A and B are shown apart, each in its own frame.
Chain A
Amino acid sequence: MDELDALRHMRTALAQEEHPDRIALRTDWRGGAARPRRSLKIPVVSLAATAALVVGVVAVVPLRSDRGVTPGPGRSGAVIRQGDVLLVAAARAQEAPVGEYWHTKSVSGRIYAVGTSAADHYKVDSRQGSESWTDRSGKGRSAHIELADVPLTAQDERKWQAAGSPELVRIPAPEGAARSVYLDMEPPSVKDPGWRPAADRYYGLAPDQIAKLPTEPEALENALLNLRGRWQAYSSKTGKEPIRALRGQQRVRALSDVAATLLSTAPAPPTVRAAVFRMLATQPGVRAEGRATDPLGRTGTVISLPLETTVPLGLYTAPKQLGTYRRQLVISPDTGRLLAILDLVATPPRGSRKLPTGDDGESRSLKARNMPDRFHRPGELASYQVFEVTEWTDTEPPR
């Protein structure tokens, strides 16, 4: 951290921009007709350690205006300077309450084009939900939530209706193994959510290890760099390596994947979450980029990661996408929460690629014309995860 960065980290709690109406209220600003209502009043500041230097002051006197209680920086309607978004989020995350259970509810979606041409198609959001409760010992229960697949936008909905509102819509099989597959637009009948015991690990970290992660950003990064895993998006090598072995973008990518998990589904204590936000703020190329709405309609601030192609790490031995993608985190600085992870198309899929032979012995290949995002334009949503609930609570989990 150089001296300019150090300065930027100073007094971040005060860097929050407030809504002009709030400022107008507190400053008695009355439009153009405002007059200075009085001369500046200087609040008393003491030097607690060396009171002798300042006549008549003995204790640390908090800065208060003579108007009584001044509202703190607004939690609602506040606007925050871009460079400070992650630091403000960190401060908020740290204040989050703790409880007996870690409770999360999330939805992941992938966007599929339905139709035969860029001009004539609609997009469907194919969704899966999950909910989990984890206690302090790391034991938990989780359930899969059935969700209907839905048209992505109002316009997509009209096109789906024009097609007769089919309950099953046909799409090309992305991996070429079957001729076609279907998306299920029928709302699921309510049934037993099927709670199962779970003892999840998060990039190899058990809940008790997560609880003990460092709470200073540098120390946290250092600890995460030791995480061993399959950090290549796809690789013929199957060995594990520490993140520290990666360089440049690959390292930022692995770290930001772990960071996003620690900020969302992992049972990380508030202090660790705060450190994750601060760590993200120091990663090269990680930028705040203005406001956005997440797939649940909540407003947040976009943090964009300096990466292209975000095939899930470590899952595949072959790449299963033909486009490239960039990843954004949508965070709420006001609550210190990660709201969603969005993967946007950077370059739409092109060409084809052979895949290893499947279990049935048939040869398979990826073709651009079968890909879910074959009609996407750059910048359009390819897939997402949205976190509806991520909280520590004392509420008992459902039985």
Chain B
Amino acid sequence: MAMVSHARDELDDSRIVAASLEDPDAFGELFRRHSPRLHAYVKRRLGLALADDLVSETFATAFRQRERFDGRAEFGAWLWGIASNLIAKQHRQETRMYRAFARTGVDPAEEDVADLASDRVSAAALGSRLAKSLASLSAQERSVILLLAWGGMSYAEIAATLNLPLGTVKAKIHRVRAKLRKTLPEETTDG
């Protein structure tokens, strides 16, 4: 989509970071490229209001620390890594939202998007079950599974983002999926 598939002949991210050391405004291009997807992901984890703050904080941190970005990893992975750390700091807050969803059947994260209430209804039944197990996960387990399901990342991208060995990512996803599976109703498939 437009935001993630910019043309190859544009400057790549690490060059922009380098350029921004001289010209801070150049960093704005990275915001343009990366904020929509990151923001959508954070919204999904923490709700709209907190997402605005957290994305702002993520880019501010990235900007402050841009000299430390050495270009060995993708800029996207580095940025999402910063965001993941900030999200982890909201672990209890996130847990409370999942618990509230599990207990009441109403997802507080979606409260701000009242015009999409209809969407909630159909998803709520499974969603509140999932929320219950999401509430029980550690910060890292949550990040691993949600980067996969909501971030749309590959195992390798998750490993780069969270700075974990690939094998660890696979093992964690396997474990978390098994945990989530138990909370769902028995599969009913017809041919």
Contacts and interface: CB of A to CB of B under 8 A. Distances in A.
Contacts of B11: none
A31 B24 contact: yes
Contacts of A222: 190
A103 B145 CA distance: 45
B69 to A, nearest CB: 14
Nearest to A85: B1
A37 B54 CA distance: 11
Contact of A62 (B111, B148, B177): B111
Contact of B40 (A15, A28, A64): A15
A23 B24 contact: no
B65 interface: no
Given A73-B113, A291-B2, A10 B108 contact: no
Contacts of B33: 20
Contact of B59 (A26, A29, A60): A29
Contact of B47 (A14, A15, A40, A46): A14
B48 A33 contact: no
A297 interface: no
A4 B179 CA distance: 11
B28 A32 contact: yes
Most B CB contacts (10 A, CB to CB) among A4, A23, A60 go to A23
Nearest to A46: B100
Contacts of B181: 2-3
A47 B99 contact: yes
A3 B184 CA distance: 7
B70 interface: no
B37 A216 contact: no
Interface in B1-56: 1-3, 5, 20, 23-28, 31-33, 35-37, 39-40, 43-44, 47-50, 52-56
Given A47-B100, A81-B40, A60 B56 contact: no
Contacts, number: 222
A312 interface: no
Interface in B66-93: 86, 90, 93
Contacts of B150: 7-8, 11, 15
A12 B93 CA distance: 20
Given A33-B25, A36-B56, A42-B50, A62 B1 contact: no
A79 interface: yes
B123 interface: yes
A32 B26 contact: yes
Contact of A63 (B40, B44, B109): B109
A190 interface: no
B165 interface: no
Contact of B52 (A9, A70, A82): A70
A82 to B, nearest CB: 7
A94 interface: yes
B158 interface: no
Contact of B31 (A20, A48, A290): A20
A111 interface: no
B171 interface: no
A17 interface: yes
Interface in A292-318: none
B111 A40 contact: no
A223 interface: no
B45 to A, nearest CB: 8
A65 B113 contact: no
Given A48-B100, A62-B112, A17 B1 contact: yes
A81 B100 CA distance: 26
A76 to B, nearest CB: 14
Interface of B: 1-3, 5, 20, 23-28, 31-33, 35-37, 39-40, 43-44, 47-50, 52-57, 59-61, 63, 86, 90, 93, 96-97, 99-100, 103-104, 106-116, 118-120, 122-123, 126-127, 130-131, 145-146, 148-150, 152, 177, 180-181, 183-184, 187, 190
Interface of A: 1-4, 6-20, 23-24, 26-29, 31-37, 40-43, 45-50, 54, 60, 62-65, 70, 72-73, 79-83, 87, 90-91, 94-95, 216, 222, 274, 278, 290-291
A-B CB proximity, top 10 nearest: A32-B24, A32-B27, A13-B116, A27-B56, A62-B111, A65-B49, A91-B119, A7-B149, A31-B28, A3-B180
Given A20-B35, A63-B112, A290-B5, 17 more contacts: A11-B127, A14-B44, A14-B47, A14-B48, A23-B36, A26-B52, A33-B24, A42-B93, A62-B111, A63-B48, A63-B109, A72-B48, A72-B113, A73-B113, A82-B1, A87-B119, A91-B116
